[in-house]
Structure 1
Amino acid sequence: MDSTFKNNNAISVGLHSDHQPFMLRGIPTGTGRGGKLPNNAGMYYHSNKDDFSLVDKAGLTQTIRVGAAYLYILANAEELPAKKLADNELVDFLNKAGLKEPLQISGEWRWGN
């Protein structure tokens, strides 16, 4: 690992990520956050102006290292650290995270009122 990179761990939940469809089915998810995107890439992220030349090589290398270590730990764990949530558990989780209203507005709340 490159010790010059700041690595933070946090337990949180949010929307508008590639993992959202899994989360909305109760499947445990995880994501890496590297902070501000380098090379002024933030304004082009996931747009038609996004280009491989905007990738920060050192950041990408560190992301791969951390991801590989994470997968190695999970693959060798006696049991997974989280289980799939039942619908009632998922509703409680989303309510506690304050996500019911945003999901209702976007039409992704599938549990009625």
Structure 2
Amino acid sequence: MGRRPLNRMELRAAAEAAEALGLNKDDDKGRRRSSRSADDPSQMRSKPAASPRMRVVWAVCDMGGRTVATFDYADKADAEAKAADLKARGKGNHFVRSVKEPMEGAGPRY
């Protein structure tokens, strides 16, 4: 069987009695210290790397998922026309999907 749980009131009375006698001089002994110190900058976490800015484009893909052509987001009709043209020429089935790609010349996002 386990140990009998300790009574909070009895523990408090014992601590006050020891304090009155001057036996509890070392108060820091029972406290836990954090593993990281806020004063030490080497212990602090660094910021995550800034991800590049992304833009959405329409990609015309074959049935294997490989991108055949890309169009700006505003040119969805042109992308669908390209997919229909490839299918009409007998190049197999093609479909249009949106894809995110990094923007050229744009700095990182904060």
| TM class, shorter-length | under 0.3
Q: TM-score, normalised by structure 2?
A: 0.23
- Higher Cα Rg, which structure: 2
Could you say which structure has the greater relative contact order, defined with CA pairs below 8 angstroms and 6 or more residues apart? 1
Higher strand share: 2
